[in-house]
Amino acid sequence: MPDDPRLSLILALADDELILGHRHSQWTGWAPHIEEDLAFSSIAQDEMAHARMLYRVARESGLTDRDDDALALGRPPEEYLNAVLCERPNGDWGYTVARQYLYDTADAIRVQVLGDSSWRALADAMKVIELEEKYHRDHAVTWFNRLAEGPSLTARERFAEGLTTAIGEAIAVFEPLSGEEELVSEGVLPRSNEDMLGDWLGELGEALEASSLDYVLARHGPVGEMVPTGSGEIPVESVDFTVPGVVRRDGRWMHEGAFAGAGGRRGRHSEDFLPLWEEMTALYRAHPGAKW
């Protein structure tokens, strides 16, 4: 882990944008709809450009002597601090849009909070990023409404499946950083991740409830079904699929206890990260010092 918690913070931010931008860009030329192909390519470019901007801030602030390419493409896998959510393969369009919705609504909160950071260079970068992230959020919300509100039931189900898959790991976008207490006390991170998570989950819960999609936060099932066996049909045991660490209390969804899918902020990744890393960095690593 980086010694300076500021480096942990900025790498977490930049790596999220890089890795998710990388995933988004894999739809370029492949998206299931041509206008969407164009839109998603733009979002991918924005995210990757934000990563580059943040890597540069890290260097200009004296936290590292590595340039943006060395940071983006030249680190060993365990030094990447992105949330696991960002590294997952694109899956189908339902998962892709669900992840983009969850990520960009979460990112919006963090970007706004960091706009008030006592670390001036970071705050300035966040102000620039915020201008573009607004469009990502509009894109995500438009899709949310289209998919959740019909008229296609298949679309709603695909989206709900995507949300169900992504939600636990989306919560871990707010996994605490190493040295977070110090960052908060110095005003570098004006509000703790736990606080930001509370805001995000509250908003998310409201949006999901408004579309009757809050079941993705608390899935109990399959209740009441019958399973045929040799000795007749027996009721299926009810399985609790509630997302770990999420509860509804006093009319509001909130975080309590554990994180699912966490580890990214400590450089611990899923099985999907290594293949991504290999592909993304192979050419850069194969030709040290080359110009392209």
- Chain positions contacting another protein, by CB under 8 A: 22, 25-26, 28-30, 32-38, 41-42, 44-45, 48-49, 51-52, 68-69, 72-73, 92-93, 146-147, 151-155, 158, 276, 279-280, 282-284, 287, 290-292
Question: Which neighbouring-strand residues pair with 220?
Answer: 240
Comparison of 68 and 175: residue with beta carbon closer to another protein? 68
Q: What is the maximum alpha-carbon separation in the chain?
A: 72
Between 154 and 229, name the residue whose CB sits nearer to another protein: 154
CB of 10 to another protein, least distance (A): 16
Nearest to 112 by CA among 123, 98, 96: 123
Listed in sequence order, the residues at least 6 apart from 65 whose beta carbon sits closer than 8 Å to its beta carbon are: 59
Dihedral of CA 67/69/70/72: which sign? positive
Whose Cβ is closer to another protein: residue 35's or residue 237's?
Answer: 35
Beta carbon of residue 249, minimum distance to another protein (angstroms, whole number): 35
Q: Measure the CA angle with vertex 87, ends 86 and 89; round to 5°.
A: 110
Q: Are 195 and 174 in contact (CB under 8 A)?
A: no
Q: Tell the smallest beta-carbon distance from residue 224 to another protein (Å).
A: 26
Rank residues 174 and 277 by Cβ distance to another protein and give the closer one: 277
Cβ at position 17, least distance to another protein in Å: 11
**Toward another protein, which CB reaches closer, 272 or 279?**
279
> Nearest approach, Cβ of 92 to another protein (angstroms)?
6
Q: How far is the CB of 281 from another protein (least distance, A)?
A: 9
Within 172-287, where are the H helices?
180-185, 193-210, 273-286
CA distance 189 to 120: 11
Identity of the residue, 26 or 112, whose beta carbon is nearer to another protein in the bound complex? 26
